[in-house]
Amino acid sequence: MDNTERYIYKLYKSIDVSSRDHLSIDCLSSIFDIDIRTWEYTSELVHYKGKYKMFINENLNKRQQWQDFGHEICHYFWHRGTQRYLSQMYIDYQEHKADYFAYHFCVPTFMLAKLREVNVYKIMNLFNVEFDFALRRLEMYKNKLLEGRIIWQEGMSDIVAETSTKWR
């Protein structure tokens, strides 16, 4: 498991999220105390008067909004503050990390590991993400398995064992 997967697993475990049923903007924004608003512009997270607000583009479908939420929640946990004074290279780096985070936040590895047969359509339907997002996440998951099958299985065994009773 990489650091992002480990972080998300520990995060979800700490707030008792062990089922796909808990993976929603409403549920998680309530837990994290983030006010969600829709608007016509690109999605973003802001901190105003001691409170976090996330603005989600109203023109996106529900799956796209969930994916944007996953991206923006990375900024909430890892990139707090304004990007106004950062170099473009560092902003690009943060955005790349937030994209990567979103794949794992919206489709957690420990939940994928519990599935018997994993395919793009199953990921789409179970995790409420779009085809391209599901396909990329599936590629990431399969590549991780192929890169280090033995290490991966050993690393996942504790996670799978801890979540198996809550998953069903």
Share of the chain above pLDDT 90, in %: 74
What pLDDT sits at residue 80?
73
Q: What is the pLDDT of residues 89-110, one digit of tens each?
A: 988 999 999 999 999 999 999 9
Q: How many whole angstroms separate alpha carbon 2 and alpha carbon 7?
A: 9
Average pLDDT value over all residues in the chain: 88
Average pLDDT over residues 17-36: 96
User: Rounded to the nearest 10 degrees, what angle do helices 88-106 and 131-147 cross at?
Assistant: 90
What residue spans define the domains of the chain? 3-167
Is residue 78 within 8 A of residue 128, CB to CB? The reply is: no
Query: Which tokens go with 54?
Result: 């996330």
- pTM of this structure: 0.86
Q: How confident is the model at residue 120 (pLDDT cuts 50, 70, 90)?
A: very high
